[in-house]
Amino acid sequence: MVESTPLLKVEDLQVSFKTDESQVRAVRGVSFEVYPGETVGLVGESGSGKSVTNLALMGLVPKPPGRIDGGQVHYQGQDLLKLNDRQMQSIRGRRIAMIFQDPMTALNPLMTVGQQLTEMTRLHLGLGRKEAHRQAAEMLELVGISGAEKRLRDYPHQFSGGMRQRVMIAMALSCEPDLLIADEPTTALDVTIQAQILDLLRDLQQRRGTSIIMITHDLGVVAEICHRVLVMYAGRVVEKADAQTLFADPKHPYTQGLLRSLPRFDQSSDTLEAIPGQPPDLGNLPGGCSFRPRCPLAVDACQSRDPELMNLDGRHEVACLVAQEAVDV
């Protein structure tokens, strides 16, 4: 990155949820940085803690049953975790915006798209009615929705899935945020629309210099758009690297398993490898390394130690005893 000061710095974030049976530790000591103008990917299976991490950044963890147990989230000299609801509202949407996974549930079905777009800019930017309307039309055109003036009068159900996702992107970008959190923005879209949405995000980032956190389980999306990657498993980051390094030389057995499960043009679907077993119960984690019951490389020491991230070469971090010992040798 050109700038050396992070836009966002997350340190030792911990989030849990109370259930009838136990206290579920959904996020366990997650730390990372996002620099101006870069895209950071958070990848992992469902339940790995990706979305909860970013809900915590936005101050949207439901309380109860959720609870922030510890950590810091620094943004422009402020710890977001210490702000009250009113202070967070001035940042949420204005400085940090989020594209939610399902636009049909995120958009209000009883309000026109125009009403929802202008509500954002009037609240955060103080625009008048006419100016907010003009900007709303410009934002729809920016994200590739033709006939913007007419479409502002339409309701969410009158848009296709891909067009609703574009509306969500327009809403998220309408106040020109510094950071955009995209939670599975291409899930449930066909591959053609997926490619269009990724091209749109990349183009908007180049125009505006917006930083992006891309939450996804799709490593193809990561390869397409991300500069750096964090691999999450059982609420922890188990590997960090720039995208090129991660794909060329994955160190953690979980990352290796994810990459082996990717379809390739030179092999049939019958040869795809699945990671054995199931993700652990976060309310009843196994002792030692959480990935040990599914790991083909596990050794005796993995039963008693849950390894911390270790920097291997200045730009590649991994939380795996086997990978760390290989480097030491």
| Local structure of 49: helix, strand or coil | coil
Q: Cα separations (Å) of 191 from 53, 122, 195, 233, 254?
A: 27, 35, 6, 26, 26
- 3.40.50.300, 1.10.150.130, 3.50.30.30, 3.30.1360.30: CATH of 8-95+177-279: 3.40.50.300
The token pair at 108 is 């209000």
Confidence band of 197 (pLDDT split at 50, 70, 90): confident
Sign of the torsion formed by the C-alpha atoms of 196, 198, 202 and 205 = positive
Residue range 22-70, pLDDT digits in tens: 889 999 999 999 999 999 999 999 889 999 999 999 999 998 899 999 9
**Are 70 and 12 within 8 A, CB to CB?**
yes
64 preceded by cis ω (within 30°)? yes
Beta strands per DSSP E along 136-265: 179-183, 211-216, 228-233, 236-242
Mean pLDDT of the chain: 89
| Local structure of 119: helix, strand or coil | helix
Beta pairing class for 228-233 and 236-242: antiparallel
Query: For residues 299 and 241, what is the distance between their CA atoms, to the nearest angstrom?
Result: 24
The token pair at 62 is 């439901």
Please give the span between the terminal C-alpha atoms of the chain, in angstroms, as a whole number: 32
The residue to which tokens 């480097």 are assigned: 327
Please provide residue 43's backbone torsions phi and psi, each rounded to the nearest 5 degrees: -125, 160
DSSP letter (8 states) at residue 81? G
**Are 283 and 19 within 8 A, CB to CB?**
yes
Residue range 7-17, pLDDT digits in tens: 999 999 999 99
Q: Cα separations (Å) of 42 from 119, 150, 160, 222?
A: 30, 37, 27, 9
Residue range 94-143, pLDDT digits in tens: 899 998 877 777 899 999 999 999 998 998 888 999 999 999 999 899 88
pLDDT value at position 269? 56
The token pair at 239 is 């590997």
Q: What is the mean pLDDT of residues 191-214?
A: 86
- H helix runs in 143-252, sequence order: 148-151, 161-173, 191-208, 219-225, 243-248
Domain boundaries, the chain: 8-95+177-279, 106-176
Looking at the whole model, is its pTM more than 0.85? yes
pLDDT value at position 89? 87
Sheet containing 236-242, strands listed edge to edge, beginning at the edge strand earlier in sequence: 96-99, 179-183, 211-216, 39-43, 228-233, 236-242, 317-318, 310-311
Q: Which of 284, 314, 327, 245 is nearest to 41 (CA)?
A: 245
pLDDT value at position 325? 83
Sort residue 211 into left (φ over 0), alpha (ψ -120 to 50) or beta.
beta
